């Protein structure tokens, strides 16, 4: 059973000049504490405009989603590295969503992922 709850992601609030640094620090990791992966997964599905009845399969740190039109999506919530990204690209999903915190400040990995997804005609979103 699904129940409507607050977002599992921190909400940005328009900061004053004095609190801007505090807001920026808070958003280094935009996921709320104690958030369950499954709850976050279903929130992302809804934000992508997908139905909660989509087929969801978990394999090798990747949530694979198939919608009613047989389009595939990959959602990365736990781990990311070059091998995992290559595995995802080889499947050619319609879209890939990854949490920003998985890159752990590795901007080169994030940019390479973005460029490789673009070359493969895969929409890539980092949240």
| Domain architecture of the chain: domains with CATH | 34-126 (3.40.1350)
Say which DSSP state 72 is in. Answer: E
pLDDT tens sequence across 31-69: 557 768 888 899 899 989 999 999 999 999 999 999 999
Asked whether 46 and 8 are in contact (CB, 8 A), the reply is no
Give the separation between CA 25 and CA 73, rounded to whole angstroms. 31
Give pTM, 2 decimals. Answer: 0.76
Give the Cα separation of 41 and 79 in Å (integer). 14
């Amino acid at each position: 059973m699904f129940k409507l709850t607050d977002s599992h992601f921190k909400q940005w609030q328009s900061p004053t000049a004095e609190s801007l640094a505090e807001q920026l620090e808070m958003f280094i990791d935009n996921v709320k504490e104690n958030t369950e992966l499954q709850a976050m997964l279903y929130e992302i599905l809804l934000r992508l405009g997908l139905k909660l009845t989509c087929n969801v399969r978990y394999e090798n740190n990747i949530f694979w989603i198939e919608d009613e039109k047989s389009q595939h999506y990959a959602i990365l919530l736990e781990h990311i590295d070059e091998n995992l990204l290559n595995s995802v690209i080889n499947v050619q999903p319609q879209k890939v969503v990854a949490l920003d915190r998985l890159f752990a400040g590795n901007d080169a990995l994030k940019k390479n992922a973005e460029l490789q997804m673009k070359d493969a005609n895969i929409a890539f979103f980092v949240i």
